[in-house]
């Protein structure tokens, strides 16, 4: 394993540790069985448009791909009595994926 792989593995393990940043919640796919998965919610993320001065705030859900292999629009994640609905993918590096949620 290369140094970069070790760093990536350590960061993922720490960020998705329930004693650090991650929360354990119930992932409920539109089709399939619910499962307990770890994830992180970032609320109030600001994106500023290129062609305008308008900014938009949204909420992002970060999760491990080995826990949610095939996320889909309208799947939900229930954590701390709040339900987040997946809207659209933002990024996916093969290990960690980020989706826009509402």
| Distance from C-alpha of 65 to C-alpha of 91, rounded to nearest angstrom | 11
Reported pTM: 0.83
The SS3 of residue 14 is: helix
Contact between residue 62 and residue 39 where contact means Cβ atoms under 8 Å apart: yes
Task: Dump pLDDT digits (tens) for 30-86.
Answer: 999 999 999 999 998 876 666 555 667 899 999 999 999 999 999 999 999 999 999
């Amino acid at each position: 394993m290369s140094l970069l792989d070790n760093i990536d593995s350590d960061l993922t393990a720490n960020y998705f540790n329930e004693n650090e940043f991650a929360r354990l919640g119930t992932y409920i796919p539109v089709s399939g069985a619910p499962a307990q998965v770890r994830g992180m919610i970032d609320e109030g993320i600001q994106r500023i448009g290129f062609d305008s001065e308008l900014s938009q705030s949204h909420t992002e859900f970060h999760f491990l791909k080995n826990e949610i292999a095939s996320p889909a629009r309208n799947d939900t994640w229930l954590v701390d009595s709040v339900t987040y609905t997946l809207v659209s993918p933002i990024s996916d590096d093969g290990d960690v994926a980020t989706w826009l949620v509402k």
